[in-house]
Amino acid sequence: MSSFSPSCPGSGKSLMSSHIRYNLIHNRTKENLDLDRFIPNRSAIDFDYAHYMLTEGWKDKEKDSSVTSPSKEAYRQRMKEVFGMNRSRILAFSNKPPAPLPISTPQLEGASVGKRRHRRVPQIAERMLDCPGLVDDYYLNLLDWGKSNVIAIALENTVYLWDASSHTSWELETVSDDKGPVTSVSWAPDGRNIAIGLNNSEVQVWDSITNKKLRTLSDGHQARVGTLTWNNNILTTGSADSKIINNDLRVRNHIIETYRGHRNEVCGLKWSPSGRYLVSGGNDNLVHIWDRSMAGLNSASQWLHRIQDHTAAVKALAWCPYQSNMLASGGGMADGCIKFWNINTGACLNSIDTGSQVSALLWNNNDRELLSSHGLPDNKLTLWKYPSMVQMAELTGHTSRVLFMSQSPDGHSVASVGDETLRIWNVFGSPDEVKSSKETSAPEPFAHVSRIR
């Protein structure tokens, strides 16, 4: 049987050899010029005209070459234009782009109005209060801003209250030397009652309206109570004896749960917004997350997670307001890190080295921002954008380490304490607030300085 090799008409070379030679040339050209294929767009091709040009169009071209009269030539060209026959290409590779839609001026104005404005963070404290006698102890918690817009601050053996609305202050209580100094203060959720921890291990509960003591808890701890936190009617206390106790103030036998897990002083406590989880930080560099549903009555409870990543005492703790399973923690001087945790898994989501002692953390309730206060060596407040952790602002003014920080009820302002001064910053204020010229005029020297006592 003879082999079959198709040939090109009028040529002795085979189609196969021509195809191979074409591929070699085409590949070489593609390598040199880096060209790509042209793919026709079928939706843009006039197939009737293409068929005519392939079958009859060559005849018209031969006739055109024999025409010598200029008038006939002009007539033919005019007819081609009228009937769309003056095209030279059969294949179409792209559609004509659509004309842009007109945009009216009101639409442009609306777009500019909707654009997010950059928020300016004031770099100077709105108000400064003198706090002589402030105990310089990192492990205590001597400041709290209550729901009724009253700030409580402990100075040695005395607790003072300052109304942020009326700018008036008064003394709530002064304890004796055998009980003091005051080691912690914490407002109840109602903004009326306040808990006070003492150096002699007692905890007192006071009515701030009547200035009367409601109750004394004296049978729970054996050392100073440096941190307090509320969960509705449950007052949780943390002590230098390493114990954490839940106290139900509605019943006579107030101790209902005890958490044991720290090896040293407990210096930070925070209940989650849901009231289910409690986080504790201690001078043993540990962070514990406790699930109240796992707690046993009057018995030591097992922690849900034990976190050992910090290398210094952990006092700064803050639950994320818009992500219920996320927690932020800050370490002391030898650590200086802010870490973010998934409490469901106990995994560390991110860690930022601030280079300075972290004494407190506060979330912005209206935006994804985190404020941190720092002790040595920076003595400042830093505003971070979350989750990028880019610094948005640094608030300076304290001349020694910032020990405590608390947030106003509306979430806009923050009070910080250090160097025997209390400073109020409008760090989380609304970006659209525009002060009048009278308010922004230069104040008289020291006009913003007041005294707590």
- 3-class SS string, 1-46: CCCCCCECCCCCCEHHHHHHHHHHHHHHHHHHHCCCCCCCCHHHCC
CB atoms within 10 A of CB 47: 9
pTM: 0.71
Convert 292-328 to b/e letters by CB count within 10 Å (16 or more is b).
beebeeeeebebbbebebbebbbbbbbbbeeeeebbb
Task: Determine the distance from the C-alpha atom of residue 107 to the mean position of all C-alpha atoms in its chain, rounded to a whole number.
Answer: 32
Whether the pLDDT of residue 191 is over 80: the answer is yes
Q: What integer is the mean pLDDT of 360-382?
A: 95
Task: Please give the pLDDT value at position 87.
Answer: 60
pLDDT (tens digit per residue) in 212-255: 999 999 999 999 999 999 999 999 999 999 999 999 999 999 99
Task: Please give the pLDDT value at position 73.
Answer: 74
Task: Please give the pLDDT value at position 393.
Answer: 95
Q: Rank 23-37, 152-166, 420-434 by mean pLDDT and report only the highest.
A: 152-166
Q: What integer is the mean pLDDT of 269-276?
A: 96
- Comparison of pLDDT for 176 and 76, the residue scoring more: 176
Task: Please give the pLDDT value at position 99.
Answer: 60
- Comparison of pLDDT for 215 and 42, the residue scoring more: 215
| Least confident window among 95-99, 209-213, 357-361, 404-408 | 95-99
| Least confident window among 10-19, 90-99, 118-127, 285-294 | 10-19
- What percent of the chain is predicted at pLDDT more than 70? 69
Whether the pLDDT of residue 37 is over 90: the answer is no
CB atoms within 10 A of CB 49: 15
Mean pLDDT of the residues in the chain: 82
Q: What integer is the mean pLDDT of 290-311?
A: 81
Task: Please give the pLDDT value at position 77.
Answer: 73
Task: Please give the pLDDT value at position 427.
Answer: 95
Q: What integer is the mean pLDDT of 396-410?
A: 96
Task: Please give the pLDDT value at position 75.
Answer: 73
Task: Please give the pLDDT value at position 95.
Answer: 55
* Residue 23 vs residues 7, 8, 33, 192, 341: alpha-carbon distances, Å: 17, 17, 15, 89, 61
- Comparison of pLDDT for 60 and 220, the residue scoring more: 220
Whether the pLDDT of residue 104 is over 60: the answer is no
pLDDT (tens digit per residue) in 302-316: 899 999 999 999 999
Whether the pLDDT of residue 41 is over 80: the answer is no
pLDDT (tens digit per residue) in 64-103: 555 556 777 777 777 666 666 656 565 655 555 556 555 4
